[in-house]
Amino acid sequence: MKSTDLHAPAGTTVLRPVTAQERARRAAANAGEPTLEFDGQVPYDAYVRASTLHRLQQPLGDDPGEMSFLMVSQIMELYFKLTCFELRGAQELLRADRVTDALAPLRRAGMHLEGLNGAWRGLRWMTPADFNRFRNLLGEASGLQSAMYRHLEILLGLRNETLIRPFRRQTDVYADLVADLHAPSLWDDVLALLGRQGHPLPADLPRADPTTEHTPYPEVEAAWVRIYADPRPENHLWLLGEALTLIAEEFGDWRYHHLKAVQRAMGAKVGSGGSNGLAWLQRSMARVVFPELWSARTAM
């Protein structure tokens, strides 16, 4: 069946849902062999948009290593988006006090971050000489300019209004970042949930200015100490804490792997985006995701 979908490029095949009975009939007709003839676009391509995806790699030079650098960067962008998608879904569920349901997207987010970290392995080959062969072609392009990474940081509670300034002239991108900056982070929603669950929290939570970064509170730390004193499967807040811990761990690992990749490929040279490179990344790692979830462990 061929038709046009509002969300699909003109002329592409729109997938028609198929039942289990139809699949069984097709398998019987094919004697167990795969279907090899289609009326139009191959269904896999219609769904994944693989042909579109594979046209997005446009290296600037002839060095073969640049393709690895470009594609790994694009893979990371997709993982940023996927993780943000899961975190937003978890936020909606937490706001509705559906803690058990929120665990699934949070655990998936942790696993997506594991995949994100695995992408760094594709750049282990890169020495300074390898990077220097195409680095100048990148101009001022820098991973620090990733809007989707900024969304991820903001959702996790790492808020710095100055870091979204590069996107001011990309009005749609900037508007989305500003909206996230003024909306509750995942950690804000978790703290609001703790308050609704009866844990005494400071009167100034939620923060009057959501664009500022969260300041750790001893009351929040004490709440997590109490929660972890009851590590039963029935204690959904304990399970929530563990799901959040996985996310924070994997995100911290990504920042560490980023630091080591920069160190391996360019040492302490000035960054392409104007920062002092390695030193800037080292300072950024001091900003902790879900701080009281970590500090509470000292008192447990």
The C-alpha atoms of residue 142 and residue 272 are separated, in whole angstroms, by: 6
The C-alpha atoms of residue 102 and residue 92 are separated, in whole angstroms, by: 8
Residue 135 in marked binding region = yes
Q: How far is CA 223 from CA 109, 156, 233, 289, 297, in A?
A: 24, 19, 18, 17, 11
The owner of tokens 């997590």 is: 224
The C-alpha atoms of residue 263 and residue 155 are separated, in whole angstroms, by: 27
Q: Say which DSSP state 3 is in.
A: -
The C-alpha atoms of residue 183 and residue 187 are separated, in whole angstroms, by: 11
The C-alpha atoms of residue 112 and residue 78 are separated, in whole angstroms, by: 10
Residue 98 in marked binding region = no
Radius of gyration, alpha carbons of the chain: 23
Residues 191, 195, 199, 201: what is their CA dihedral angle, to the nearest 10 degrees? Answer: 70
Q: Please, how many CA atoms are within 13 Å of residue 106, restricted to the half-sphere of its CB?
A: 29
138 Cβ contact partners less than 8 Å away, ≥ 6 residues apart: 60, 272
Binding residues are 135, 258
Binding residues for heme are 258
Binding residues for substrate are 135
